[in-house]
Amino acid sequence: MKSQLSQYLLKRSKAEPNKRKAIRLLALSHFYDGKNRAEIARYLKVSRRSVNDWVSAYLEHGVAGLESKKPPGRISYLTSIEKEKLSQYVVKRSASTGGGRLTGECIRQYIKREFGATYHLNSVYKLLETLGFTWQTSRSRHPKQCLEAQDEFKKS
């Protein structure tokens, strides 16, 4: 006879869109059916240690303990002070009216020159995103452009 908790966990595992969490819920359903952890591990083709961890996490935190933890990732090459300096550089450089574009490659070279850190171009864009910048391109403005000449051209 299945316990109510076991049936509840089984239903949740079937409805769970995250397959990893569904397996964890299924393991707990088997646990509350009275199966031992070694049997559960063999049935689900996972390690017994994983089953032990899932059961412990559930007993300690409930269903929230079964959520996947986002891996921390690599520590940033830049300190918070250097990131602030980079932000100021991007704002100052993008607001200048000297013409030209501020490209990811320019920012990558600036980071290498100022902070001695080597970034891949894709990582520069991710860094800019974490600093709150969105990447936009526009038509570059030539430093010698003349607005009056453009207006005259439009009239003709």
Amino acid 37: pLDDT:
94
Q: Taking a C-beta distance cutoff of 8 angstroms, is the pair 38, 11 a contact?
A: no
- Model pTM score: 0.50
**Residues 138, 143, 148, 149, Cα dihedral to 10°:** -90
**How far is Cα 146 from Cα 143, in angstroms, rounded to an integer?**
9
pLDDT tens readout for residues 98-148: 656 788 899 999 999 999 999 999 999 999 999 998 877 666 667 777 888
Amino acid 99: pLDDT:
59
Amino acid 60: pLDDT:
94
Residues with Cβ < 8 Å from 16, sequence gap 6 or more? 22, 25
**Residues 82, 72, 134, 123, Cα dihedral to 10°:** 70
Residues with Cβ < 8 Å from 101, sequence gap 6 or more? 137, 140
Q: Which backbone phi and psi does 70 adopt, to 5 degrees?
A: -70, 130
The burial class, CB within 10 Å (0-12 / 13-18 / 19+), for 106 is: middle
Least Cα distance to 76 among 115, 28, 27, 30 occurs for 115
Residue 84 has pLDDT above 60, yes or no: yes
Token pair listed for 78? 């830049």
